[in-house]
Structure 1
């Protein structure tokens, strides 16, 4: 795999999320969980999606990847995860099926992100954020402490959106 657009994952509601469908658009990939202290970040992620991507065919695509890897904080089924995200945070951005994002069993996308970002970019908790540019390359990553509405995240998103 040479770029983020080379990956595909099962969708939360079935089917496949083929990242190549978003080729040329910046991506914000986030490992998520429904029962975490950082779970309210769904609201900020939805705001980024609504502001910078949902209605713009060249805009940002936010992709949530639920994972039960950290503190068993995503125990639900796909249906339960989808209902929770929609009901509590109005999530409308693409979500994948629950995946493993850490260690030797991590899905290829997260192995690629760790390779591209280096050792410290490997998720050590829920809500790590990975910003991908229009070429499909990792340009920045953020720990869960960086809220989606923080100046650093918003400025980085602006930069990749404006870089054409």
Structure 2
């Protein structure tokens, strides 16, 4: 099966290693722009729970640190990794710090932000912890705004609906 536009975009891990979403082909993904100093940062706890609970069923959470909203992710890659692991026990993959809006918007977010939320609004990411659910085939299935908790029944049912296992 050919990779989709989203899967073909070159990415880097938080450690600076080359990656792409094609590395996760066949898995359902929840891609979330994250920040360490945001009022929504405790969502890391629910994201880790989802990542752990559904890992064996073909699901992966991917965190994308972003410092575009109130400077709430100012740290280095090492700072981010340490904070996430020691404060929230994060084990899911993290990508390098990325711009999700504006002229420097990463190509991943150029593609992701084409997807509309349930109200029909596409375009810019509103704030930290906006979530994009991607099917195992690499298509954006749903978009959840920042204040929708990762463990909200709507998010959980959307994940369960696209799990490959």
> How does the TM-score come out when normalised to structure 1?
0.91
Root mean square deviation, CA, Å: 1.7
CA contact (8 A) 1:41 1:147 kept: yes
Deviations 1:96-148 (A, max 9, x none): 11010111210000011112337535311000000001211111010111111
Could you tell me how far 1:155 is from its partner in structure 2?
A: 0.7
Task: Pick the aligned partner of 2:147 from 142, 145, 148.
Answer: 145
CA contact (8 A) 1:121 1:141 kept: no
> How does the TM-score come out when normalised to structure 2?
0.91
Structure with more helix by fraction: 1
Q: Which runs of 5+ in 1 are unaligned?
A: none
Which residue of structure 1 aligns with residue 115 of structure 2? 116
Q: Secondary structure at the match of 1:105?
A: coil
Distance 1:99 1:108 in 2: 10
Pair 115,146 (structure 1): closer, same or farther in 2 beyond 3 Å = same
Distance 1:38 1:120 in 2: 21
Could you tell me how far 1:43 is from its partner in structure 2?
A: 0.5
Which residue of structure 1 aligns with residue 43 of structure 2? 41
Q: Which runs of 5+ in 2 are unaligned?
A: none
Which residue of structure 2 aligns with residue 63 of structure 1? 62
Distance 2:121 2:24 in 1: 27
How do 1:1-164 and structure 2 match up within 5 A?
2-53=4-55, 56=56, 59-117=58-116, 119-161=121-163
Could you tell me how far 1:4 is from its partner in structure 2?
A: 2.4
For these two proteins, the number of residue pairs brought into alignment is: 160
Distance 1:93 1:7 in 2: 20
